[in-house]
């Protein structure tokens, strides 16, 4: 078990198992994987290709089910929920930032950010106010009507972050959020994630292959052969 603090963890994985079948061959990715992350932490997860980084993120997001063990976020046991229940829970408690932004090109920045709010009991006016606030927070105030094709990669990723936090989630999952960006844009996105963590208290789990990006997190966990083998804490 990777040690954290004495407080009850916000995220807890206990004895998690996950495997695949490829060409008739059974491949065990995780066997009794344990992890604890306290509320308000910012964790970077690194590791070689095939180590299970993306699968870990997908299980935390409820996009993939484990084959056994416990996956708890807050008081919710994702491993005890069906796919539809996980979908509903994810819409209300979690934001996801993708490497390639996943913005809809036919929608404006504001319309992309508004998408997760359509599942909330908010009026159109309340949604507009929320969208304006989060775009302002990520430095895109006044860009509400701009389309993704007219934005730089860094600006598109900021729209992606605004969309991820629009519903005020408890947890932010980031899948290689700087992987498609130049260094300057990547640093700007990382600064935004640090702000969300330090000023707004968002719990963040970020999968990355970039050591420089990992240094911006409070902790770096290394996955290898289905286990965490090293941890580095920010100074």
Beta bridge pairs of residue 231: 221
Q: In the chain, which stretches have pLDDT less than 50?
A: 3-5
Q: Tell me the per-residue pLDDT of 75-88, one tens digit each, with 9 for 90 and over.
A: 999 999 998 898 88
CB 32 within 8 A of CB 70: no
- What's the confidence (pLDDT) of residue 7? 67
- What's the confidence (pLDDT) of residue 3? 47
Domain that holds residue 164: 38-66+80-233
- What's the confidence (pLDDT) of residue 235? 57
- 215 within a domain of the structure (yes/no): yes
CATH code, domain carrying 109? 3.40.50.300
pTM (predicted TM-score): 0.90
Q: Tell me the per-residue pLDDT of 151-204, one tens digit each, with 9 for 90 and over.
A: 999 999 999 999 999 999 989 999 999 988 899 999 999 999 999 999 999 999
- What's the confidence (pLDDT) of residue 66? 92
What's the number of domains the chain is made of? 1
- 16 within a domain of the structure (yes/no): no
- 176 within a domain of the structure (yes/no): yes
């Amino acid at each position: 078990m990777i040690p954290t603090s004495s407080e009850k963890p916000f995220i807890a994985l206990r004895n998690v198992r996950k495997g695949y079948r490829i060409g008739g061959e059974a491949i065990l990715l995780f066997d009794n994987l344990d992890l604890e992350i306290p509320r308000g932490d910012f964790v970077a997860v690194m590791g070689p290709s095939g180590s299970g980084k993306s699968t870990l993120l997908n299980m935390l997001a409820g996009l993939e089910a484990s084959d056994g063990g416990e996956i708890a976020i807050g008081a919710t046991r994702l491993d005890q929920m069906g796919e539809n229940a996980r979908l509903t829970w994810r819409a209300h408690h979690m934001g996801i930032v993708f490497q390639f932004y996943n913005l809809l090109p036919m929608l404006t920045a504001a319309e992309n950010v508004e998408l997760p709010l359509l599942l909330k009991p908010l009026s159109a006016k309340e949604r507009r106010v929320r969208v304006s606030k989060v775009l302002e927070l990520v430095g895109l105030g006044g860009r509400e009507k701009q389309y993704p094709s007219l934005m730089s990669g860094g600006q598109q990723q900021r729209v992606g972050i605004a969309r991820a936090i629009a519903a005020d989630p408890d947890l932010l999952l980031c899948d290689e959020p700087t992987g498609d960006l130049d260094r300057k844009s990547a640093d700007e996105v990382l600064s935004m994630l640090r702000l969300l963590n330090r000023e707004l208290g968002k719990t963040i789990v970020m999968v990355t292959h970039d050591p420089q990006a990992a240094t911006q997190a409070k902790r770096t966990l290394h996955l290898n052969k289905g286990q965490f083998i090293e941890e580095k804490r920010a100074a």
